[in-house]
Structure 1
Amino acid sequence: MNRALDWRRYPNFQPQEFACRHTGRVRMDADFMDRLQALRSAFARPMLISSGYRDPTHPLEAIKSQPGSHASGRAVDVSVRGAEALQLIALAVQHGFTGIGVQQKGSGRFIHLDDLSAQAQQPRPTIWSY
C-alpha cells in the first residue's frame, strides 16, 4: 500500500464493506480506491461490494500458491447482473481496471475488478469467467 486511506475521499463507500470476513482487517490500496470511486461516480448507481480485502490467512487466499489480488487490497467483487454488469465492465475498462472476472450465472452473480500490473504468467489487461 502506498499511502494511508482517508475514507472521506470515497463518499460512496464505507470501510466495513471492504473488511476481510476472516480477520476483519481493511487494507485496501489508496490508488485502487481512487480508481474505484471514479468508476462509481461514472456508474452513477450503488455498487454493492461482495468481497473486498482478503487477508493472506483467509481460507480462499491460504489455499493459493501465493495470495491473490484481493490480498493486495487491489481488488473487489461487485454484486451486479444483466445490463448493469455489461455497463460496469465497459466503464471498468475505461477507468483502467486490468483484471475483470465475470460470474453471471446462478444466485451469486458478480464482477471481479482489479488493477494489477502485467507479470510473466499473468498478462494484462485480461478478462475471464468463473
Structure 2
Amino acid sequence: MRAPLDWARYPNFQSQEFACRHTGRIHMDADFMGRLQRLRQAFGRPMVISSGYRDPSHPVEAAKRQPGPHTMGRACDVAVRGADALALIVLAVQHGFTGIGVQQKGASRFIHLDDLPSQTHQPRPAIWSY
C-alpha cells in the first residue's frame, strides 16, 4: 500500500478531484502527480480533472481485459478543448507523458495523460483518439 500523498506539494490540485467516482478511493502515484504539477505550471491555466484514480472495480476498468493506468494512479483525464487541448498535448510530450489519448468530439472532450513505461506489448510514447 502506498503512503498517503502530501497534497501540499501539488498546489494546483485537490485530492477530491482524483477520487474514484465508484469507490471514493484516491491512490495517486507521487511521481505522476509531480509530473502533472509541473505540466500545470507550464500550461499556466486551470486543468479540470474529469477522471483520476479508478479502483479496479470501477465499471470502466472492470470491463477491460487488463486494468489500465488509472488503476495505478498514473493517469488522469483533463477536460479541455480546442486550442487549449493542442497546447496541453504539446506540453505533455515535453514533460514526459508517454500515453496521450484525445477525445475532442461531442460533449465530453478531454485529454488522457499517463506516464507508463514502454513495454513489449505496449510501446511508448503513444497517442490515440477515442
Interval containing the TM-score (normalised by the shorter chain): over 0.9
Equivalent residue number for residue 118 of structure 2: 118
- Which consecutive aligned stretches of 4+ in structure 1 deviate over 3 angstroms post-superposition? 1-4
Equivalent residue number for residue 51 of structure 2: 51
Q: How do 1:26-105 and structure 2 match up within 5 A?
A: 26-105=26-105
Residue identity over aligned pairs, in percent, reads: 76
Alpha-carbon distance, 1:65 to partner: 1.3
Alpha-carbon distance, 1:61 to partner: 0.5
8 Å CA contact 2:2, 2:27 repeated in 1: no
Alpha-carbon distance, 1:119 to partner: 1.1
What do the CA deviations read for 1:77-110 (whole angstroms, capped 9, x no partner)? 0000000000000000000000000000111000
Flag structure 1 segments of 5+ consecutive residues without an equivalent: none
Helix, strand or coil: the match of 2:54? Answer: coil
Alpha-carbon distance, 1:63 to partner: 1.1
Q: Give the structure-2-normalised TM-score.
A: 0.97
Flag structure 2 segments of 5+ consecutive residues without an equivalent: none
Alpha-carbon distance, 1:123 to partner: 0.3
Alpha-carbon RMSD across the aligned residues, in angstroms, is 1.0
Alpha-carbon distance, 1:4 to partner: 3.5
Alpha-carbon distance, 1:2 to partner: 6.2
Cα distance in structure 2, aligned partners of 1:2 and 1:128: 30
- Code of the residue aligned with 2:83 in structure 1: it is A
Cα distance in structure 2, aligned partners of 1:43 and 1:23: 30
Q: Give the structure-1-normalised TM-score.
A: 0.97
Cα distance in structure 2, aligned partners of 1:80 and 1:2: 30
Alpha-carbon distance, 1:64 to partner: 1.0
Cα distance in structure 2, aligned partners of 1:40 and 1:28: 16
- Code of the residue aligned with 2:90 in structure 1: it is A
8 Å CA contact 1:2, 1:30 repeated in 2: no
